[in-house]
Amino acid sequence: MAGENRKSKYTKQVLRDTLLTMMKRDPITAISVSALCKAADINRSTFYNHYHDAYDLLESIEQQFYDSFVEKMSTIDILRPAQDTIALLFQQIYENRELCRILLGENGDKAFLRRVVSIRRDKHIDEVSRQIQGKPRTLMADMYDFFIFGCIGLTQKWVASDFKDSPQQMATLCRKLFISLVDGMKTA
């Protein structure tokens, strides 16, 4: 039984590595199970023992990264500011830069980064609402979404630059932009 488990883990790792290698060149939409199995030197029936299709495999890779990030997020006190979340996000992306080059790059899943940066969305909107009294929560949600989409753009630019700036510099930039946005909303 332990041998089967080890073999299964090995097979999944080979498929994962092969898919990520292929995604350096091609989007997921252009990767067939046949081509993936041929490149991985794994039988298609073995592939189907683990995954439904290439999208399912990609989703499992993304979920593994997401779960890792959520686990690290649990170490941050829920009452600490959103900037701590941003700093942790950039550090996590940097520590997994080879994977993130693919997941967040040109051939990656555009919705994945949005999902990651939206963790604790409601908590952060509540935090902003406390800082900016007298504004409707829907306006605070719109402001937060505006900020998040800006962070997504900055993150994609950072990945495309081959991580030219440090995670700390990126977190500081986002923090400054966030503070400017909040200050602007206070006077609006």
Cα–Cα distance, 120 to 115 (Å, whole number): 10
> Residue 39: its pLDDT value, please?
97
- Estimate the crossing angle of helix 82-95 against helix 167-187, to 10 degrees: 150
65 neighbors 96 (Cβ within 8 angstroms): yes
> Residue 52: its pLDDT value, please?
97
2-51 to CATH, choices 1.10.1760, 1.10.3470, 1.10.10, 3.30.420: 1.10.10
149 CB contacts (<8 Å, ≥6 apart)? Answer: none
Quick one: which of 152, 153, 155, 123 has its CA closest to 140? Answer: 123
> Residue 131: its pLDDT value, please?
79
> Residue 159: its pLDDT value, please?
92
> Residue 77: its pLDDT value, please?
58
Digitized pLDDT (tens) for each residue of the chain, 188 residues in all:
455 689 999 999 999 999 999 999 999 999 999 999 999 999 999 999 999 999 999 999 999 998 988 887 777 655 456 667 788 889 989 999 999 999 888 888 878 877 877 777 888 788 888 878 888 888 888 988 898 888 888 998 999 999 999 999 999 998 899 888 888 887 77
Cα–Cα distance, 73 to 67 (Å, whole number): 10
> Residue 2: its pLDDT value, please?
53
Cα–Cα distance, 188 to 186 (Å, whole number): 6
Residues of the chain with CATH 1.10.10: 2-51
Residue 87: phi, psi to the nearest 5? -60, -45
86 neighbors 174 (Cβ within 8 angstroms): yes
Tokens of 172: 């500081």
Q: Distance between alpha carbon 179 and the CA centroid of its chain, in Å?
A: 23
